[in-house]
Structure 1
Amino acid sequence: MGTAAMLRAAGVGAGDEVIVPAFGNAEVAEAVIQAGALPVFADIDPATYCLDAVEVDAAVGPRTAALVAVHRFGRPADMTRLWEVGQRRGLLVLEQGESEASYAEIEERRAHAAFLDGRLRGVRTPERGAGHTYQQYVVRVPGNGRPDRDAFARAVRAKGVECRVPVKTPVHRMPAFRQDVCLPETERAADETLTLPVDASLTKREMQRIVSTCNALGGLLQPAF
């Protein structure tokens, strides 16, 4: 059963609000609208890229009926705290997961992530967390007033290393969902994040190439004066 169907089955519809993340694709916000309700965006935890329970609590209003937590990049949301908010506020709490992988594939991705964690310089590696499956390995390339993340990505690709921007436009900036809401962590993550390969099929030589390529570009990350 999809998110829209689950909301409707729980009686969520016209006149109701549902708290969702803006960091990600528009799928969840669209599901809320399909159910007849209004999506309300809350900020993320910068470590997990999932809804921050404190921000969710602050976003609850008299019409809030539910929240939808989305697990992001293989890192699960803090469901214990989100369930606590839901219980205390009388909200329906739904989860949207990610595609599953085999145990062997997850363990290989974790090994590749650990390899990068210990060798990358000049980028902020992802924070480790219980249950992280590294569906995507997301680093941060701080801005310093310049589009350093984008320049870094172009330079990495020019060296033959695959990378991509995971979220180009947060949902609350999209014309169909635009809201006047302050989401500083969402905005910062959209401007700084970049995914690097950790696929189970990568060889040790390919992993070493990722490290050497990224580390050679560290000068792009120096502050602009």
Structure 2
Amino acid sequence: MIPFVDLKAQYLSIKDEIDTAVIKALESTQFVLGSEVVALEEEFAHYCNADSGIAVNTGTSALHLALLAAGIGAGDEVITVPFTFVATTAAICYTGAKPVFVDIDPVSYTMDVTQIEAAITERTKAILPVHLYGQPADMEPILEIARRHGLVVIEDAAQAHRAEYKGQRVGSLGDIGCFSFYPGKNLGACGEGGMVVTSNPEYERKMRMLRDWGQERKYHHVFKGYNYRMDGIQGAILRVKLRHLDKWTEARRAHAARYDKPLANAGVKTPTAMPYSHHVYHVYAVRSQQRDTLQQKLQEKGIQTGIHYPIPVHLQPAYADLGDRAGAFPHSEAASKEVLSLPMYAELSADSQTQIINAVIAEYV
């Protein structure tokens, strides 16, 4: 069986480094926040070309804190996309604000920037683009629209560690950037984790307090906050993995290039890296009108795949109250029926990839 993601292979490749870091963290007894988390915050912020990093327990918490720091609350509206993991929308709802969807561009799968201005109302306070699959959204027009309308831009970079837009790392393009360290991400913890990066000192101050019960100092609560703190062991693990991220990213990009050529005329539509994008291929998603059949056939041949995502958020029962109906966002709905993610991880062997490519081609000969 060729796995969709092989976390064991990654662990074994850096086992000695990880084990040493974990033992050191255990011996320090700094199990919540602590020196390893502080060091990770500094290193990851520098990696993203941002001034500050605020480590949290999940990527969802990162989004939630970013919205709260930006002053988003009840009665406000935040523009985002329905073709994303549900956490993007959920975080907006946590604040009491309303998600307002615009469709995706059918080529990049990221926010269609031509639809943003029509969605802006007097209640709009922020734009939340998603860098989906490792591809940055088209940030230049998003930032220009935001400036003209006085809106905050919060990047959902949960799938885009090390991605770049016109040479600049994602996370530092908008006002705040949010990352997930879920285990399967390009930079993944051995458990849950997340990070917010920003160069706005007031946002940083507020998010640091909000993640730790709203405390300015111990037992002095300025805000009604949350327990969103990162574990010290995860901080130590992520510091090790961050040192390997460049190498892993180039491996992913090489795998994507190896997929691209033979699959280009194989009956599936391969991903398009936009001209402005340094794509990091969190997933390698092809499109097929016979997606479900293709997935079944690959499974029968011992190849695991994934679907990101089979139901756009506006059609999820949990968000029916937002009032968007089928047909409202046709590109998101079409993609949800056709995308199929092939195995993609740094340790993927050339032999496995050849087997995957041949299996896909065989279904269209």
Asked if Structure 1 and Structure 2 have the same fold, meaning a TM-score greater than 0.5 normalized by the shorter chain, the answer is yes
Q: Taking structure 2 as the reference length, what is the TM-score of the superposition?
A: 0.56
Distance 1:114 1:8, change over 3 A: same
* 2:134 partner SS: coil
CA contact (8 A) 1:141 1:192 kept: yes
| CA RMSD after TM alignment | 1.5
* 1:69 partner SS: coil
* 1:118 partner SS: helix
Counterparts of 2:358 and 2:66, CA distance in 1: 47
Choose from 249, 252, 256 the match for 1:106.
Answer: 249
Residue 259 of structure 2 corresponds to residue 116 of structure 1: yes
The amino acid of 2:149's aligned partner reads R
Choose from 44, 52, 64 the match for 2:112.
Answer: 52
Corresponding residue for residue 139 of structure 1: 286
CA contact (8 A) 1:44 1:55 kept: no
Question: How many residues in Structure 1 have an aligned counterpart in Structure 2?
Answer: 214
Corresponding residue for residue 304 of structure 2: 162
Counterparts of 1:210 and 1:50, CA distance in 2: 26
The amino acid of 1:93's aligned partner reads V
Counterparts of 1:133 and 1:64, CA distance in 2: 31
Displacement of 1:72: 0.8
Counterparts of 1:27 and 1:98, CA distance in 2: 10
Displacement of 1:87: 1.2
CA contact (8 A) 1:23 1:171 kept: yes
Corresponding residue for residue 223 of structure 1: none
After TM superposition, where is structure 1 displaced by more than 6 Å over at least 4 residues in a row? none
Counterparts of 1:8 and 1:112, CA distance in 2: 38
Counterparts of 1:66 and 1:98, CA distance in 2: 18
Corresponding residue for residue 314 of structure 2: 172
Alignment of 1:173-188 (within 5 A): 173-178=315-320, 179-180=323-324, 182-188=328-334
Corresponding residue for residue 34 of structure 1: 94
Displacement of 1:192: 0.7
Counterparts of 1:165 and 1:128, CA distance in 2: 19
* 2:122 partner SS: coil
Choose from 133, 138, 141 the match for 1:73.
Answer: 133
The amino acid of 1:214's aligned partner reads V
The amino acid of 1:187's aligned partner reads E
Residue 123 of structure 2 corresponds to residue 63 of structure 1: yes
* 1:156 partner SS: helix
* 1:81 partner SS: helix
Choose from 79, 88, 113 the match for 2:148.
Answer: 88
Q: Percent identity?
A: 38
Displacement of 1:132: 0.2
Corresponding residue for residue 362 of structure 2: 216
Displacement of 1:7: 2.1
1:6-53, Cα deviation, whole Å (9 max, x unpaired): 222222211111111111121121111111111111111122211111
Displacement of 1:152: 1.0
* 1:66 partner SS: strand
Q: Taking structure 1 as the reference length, what is the TM-score of the superposition?
A: 0.90
Distance 1:6 1:204, change over 3 A: closer
Alignment of 1:191-206 (within 5 A): 191-206=337-352
